[in-house]
Structure 1
């Protein structure tokens, strides 16, 4: 946790907060801060700030907002689509999305066998906490939108998308030239990740029939979270 995450509504008079949860523990035992020390704080939807420790004890820490600082990370405003992954993979997707500040994450059950994953706490009540770990790591202050679609057909969703659709598959065209030449950072771009078992032949036919661009991160099989990390890093690098 490089940044302490605080929500605007937690502040008293817009300047003070008393922490007695894991954030207090982190400040006291990991960061080893004392009274009058300063810490970096990220406030979702607001930005990056310096806070000063007014007091600290075994049970709580009181912080005061001192001043804003320039945002350390420009969010990577892309839209992402995932064939509903295993919960352990979902955790990593949430974390990476929060770390890079993506615009939105769409989850669809493209395979019948995946529908049982909807019942996992990762998708029912814990998704926000995994997004927050990403913000706390990088200082990104933008919380992604999370859309979990359990009824609308995923192929209809892709057909209705108002913008470029990039489908990730190792047999596609090299992503570097594609993203640079086809405006890889348009706000309407959608990046589509399929099941780890791979796209079915009729899925690939559907993509071709709808003129969706199939792009490759390399000619090796990657687990979903590694492929997602590779895409985010690549886009982040060429943008900067």
Structure 2
């Protein structure tokens, strides 16, 4: 936890109070925090800065807020469309892409996505929020990504994709594409990444026909969480 992320409800004009077990345990066991320590804090959706620890017990921590005037780091200019991964991989991927600065995420159903994945507890709003917060804490960021669930590929293709592409360059990451992943992109981008087995040919064809460009990361077949991290790093 490189940032103690505070919910606005935990903050008044001059103080912040946290009571949840996860952050308290981290303060005790990792920071080994003591009264008077100055730690980096941020208000969800707002600024960051320092706060002095007034009291720390097993049940709560009370901070005195100092000037919170540091802005969150800049977001990546990308909307990530990710075929819904396996639940455990979804958790890690959400944390990774949030830490890297992705602020718009669509989780999409495709042919090779198991329907059972949509029943996973990892898709509950509170679980998604938990993973996003962990990513923000890692990267010292305060701005939560927006996560949208789309359970139909055709509905996405016809209902959402045209509007997304009207404002962004569309890139489909898929093995075997002719062009390599571009570098140092500075324009708004729509990045589409398939599931473990990749998009099926029909899906790739439809995305290309809609105006997306196909690209690849090389001959190696990567796990989704690895591929997404590599793509974002190379693109931006």
State the TM-score bracket (shorter-chain normalisation): 0.7 to 0.9
Q: Is 1:158–1:165's contact at 8 Å kept on the other side of the alignment?
A: no
Aligned counterpart, 1:208 = 208
CA displacement, residues 19-54 of structure 1 (integer Å, 9 cap, x when unaligned): 232212211221011111100112221122211111
Change beyond 3 A, Cα 1:154–1:217: same
Match of 1:55 in 2: 55
* Residue of structure 2 equivalent to 1:153: 155
Output aligned runs, 1:92-103, within 5 Å: 92-103=92-103
Matches within 5 A, 1:1-240: 1-12=1-12, 14-21=13-20, 22-71=22-71, 73-111=73-111, 114-125=114-125, 126-151=127-152, 153-156=155-158, 157-161=160-164, 162=166, 163-172=168-177, 173-176=179-182, 179-180=183-184, 184-187=185-188, 189-236=189-236
RMSD: 2.0
Size of the aligned set, in residue pairs, is: 229
Greater Cα shift, 191-200 or 204-213: 204-213
Secondary structure of the structure 2 residue equivalent to 1:175: coil
Q: TM-score, normalised by structure 2?
A: 0.88
* Structure 1: 5+ residue stretches without partners: none
Unpaired runs of 5+ residues, structure 2, are none
Relative to structure 2, which stretch is displaced further, 221-230 or 209-218? 209-218
Please say if residues 82 and 107 of structure 1, whose CA atoms lie closer than 8 Å, have aligned partners that are also in contact: yes
